[in-house]
Amino acid sequence: MKKLLKSTTEYVSTLNRRVSPSTDPHISRCVDQLKKRGFVMLDHLVGTPEFDAIKARVDQKIEQDFELQFPCLSQSKIDVDRDHDLIETNFLATNEQLSQRGLTFNRDDVTDYQQMVTDFTPSTLTVPMPSEEGFYNLWLDPVVTSVVTSYMGFVPNLTEAYIRRNFPSSFRVMNFNWHRDTNHDKYLVKAFIFFTDCDIDTGAHHYIAGSINDPRFRDKAYFSDDEINSAWPIGSDDHMISTVPAGTIIIEDTRGLHKAGIPKRGYRDLGFAIFTPPNSFVKSKPYFQIHHSTYKSLSKNQQAFITKQNLR
């Protein structure tokens, strides 16, 4: 009964937020590409002052203010013998479990950015969505929201929003492996916002075009490069690799196969925006929060993507 009630509530909420397909030719082309291939690339923000300003704020939050999600996994603390079980499961564990194993570091352990990177060799640093208008204007950019709503057929919720900085790492952690997102079985769209130039050596994103409806590779959570490359070799038409400049946004239906590339040098900064149907993903604690003052500064269209649960 509870499952049926949830489905009914989600259907009614979705029905009330239905939208007509966009009549803008550019948006229509993007939506067609998303439907046929499962992804579309947008480059309208590349090189713009607005994007450069937000990129500078990302650097400040990571390198000066340390506005990060702690505790963080420290690759330098991993012991191959002691932690073989976690290595085998790609560190699929809670922060509490990792902390109990002595594999994390906290804000109090950090004296400066270089010390943090040198001493703890993190694979990933995560910045929670800042409650600032500039970030929401980017995450809810009108081109992005137009493509997303036209593709889904309704105005979804911005369910998750955050930024990750990925470094070279010796051990793979969860999303560095091929996988499918399972937040929703029918409606799931993710926008990837590249804050750094990206190529194969700096952690390019990989996606298998057309894999949403492919019946293969659904029997476990993660798949190896060898498994996926056996079906879609690198260089084949459907194995997409994001060699893109900073400012690029890739919109994907991530029910398809994808993975985060591991940088071989430098680092990769990537923003994430996850869109799902209203009432489809209820959580006691929201994944991001926005100040009332920031919320009021947004347009009515942008506000429609944010739930009351996310207000503070």
> What pLDDT digit, counting tens, does each position of 240-280 carry?
999 999 999 999 999 999 998 889 999 999 999 999 998 76
Domain tally, the chain? 1
- The boundaries of the domain holding residue 214 are 24-67+122-310
Residue-by-residue DSSP string for the chain: -HHHHHHHHHHHHHHHTB-PPP--HHHHHHHHHHHHHSEEEE-TTTT-HHHHHHHHHHHHHHHTS----SSEE-GGG--TTTTHHHHHTTT---HHHHHHTT-EE-GGG-SSHHHHHHHH--SEEEEEPP--HHHHHHHT-HHHHHHHHHHHSB--EEEEEEEEEE---SS--GGGSBB---S-SS--EEEEEE-S-B-TTTT-EEEETTGGG--SS-SSS-B-HHHHHHHS-TTSTTEEE--B-TT-EEEE-TTS-EEEPPPSSS-EEEEEEEEE-TTSS--SS-S--B-HHHHHHS-HHHHTTS-GGGB-
Domain assignment of residue 91, yes or no = no
Give first-to-last CA distance, the chain, whole Å: 32
Structure tokens at 236: 């084949």
Mean pLDDT, the chain, integer: 92
Domain assignment of residue 231, yes or no = yes
Q: Are 212 and 276 in contact (CB under 8 A)?
A: no
Please report the pLDDT score of residue 53 as a whole number.
96
Is residue 187's pLDDT more than 80? yes
Domain assignment of residue 286, yes or no = yes
Domain assignment of residue 98, yes or no = no
Domain assignment of residue 12, yes or no = no
Q: How far apart are CA 182 and CA 132, in angstroms?
A: 29
Please report the pLDDT score of residue 189 as a whole number.
97
Domain assignment of residue 106, yes or no = no
Residue 285 pLDDT level (bands cut at 50, 70, 90): confident
Domain assignment of residue 109, yes or no = no
190: closest CA among 138, 127, 148? 148
Share of the chain above pLDDT 90, in %: 80
CATH code at position 176: 2.60.120.620
Is residue 11's pLDDT more than 70? no
Domain assignment of residue 105, yes or no = no
